[in-house]
Amino acid sequence: MSLKPQFENQLKIAIRTGKVVLGSKKTIQLTKLGKAKVVVVAANVPPKIKEDIMYYAKLSNVPVYVYEGSSVELGALCGKPFMVAALAIIDVGESNILDLVKSTSEKQ
């Protein structure tokens, strides 16, 4: 069973009601500082960027969700006309995306 539709719904709520920062450079920076609550990376993110994000997320104990779609799909989901390789959620707002991501990471 895929959690993609549930995740997409919760991400839209987080974007609308919380604080989400787009872009791999900012995501890495916020993850290093431990300010990100959840990190989302697209399935086709370049290996070096994914490696950096995973490394700093592990150090900062931040859950990472690998989005099943491409960076183009992730950008469209965020309502942007450009690709989004990674994003950091600083404030989840009214969404329960944090619980969803933690439950998927426990199953892996």
pTM of the model: 0.90
Could you please report the per-residue DSSP string of 64-78? EEEESS-HHHHHHHT
Q: Report residue 81 CA to chain centroid gap.
A: 18
Please give the mean pLDDT across all residues of the chain.
91
CB 47 within 8 A of CB 100: no
Q: For Cα atoms 16, 103, 68, give the angle at the middle one, nearest 5 degrees.
A: 65
- Check pLDDT > 70 for residue 107: no
- pLDDT value at position 12? 93
In this structure, the strands spanning 38-42 and 64-67 are: parallel
Mention every residue, 6+ apart, whose C-beta is less than 8 A from residue 102.
63
- Check pLDDT > 60 for residue 65: yes
- Check pLDDT > 90 for residue 101: no
Total structural domains within the chain? 1
The residue assigned the tokens 């399935």 is 43
- Check pLDDT > 90 for residue 3: no
Enclosing domain of residue 33: 4-107
Give the CATH number for residue 30.
3.30.1330.30
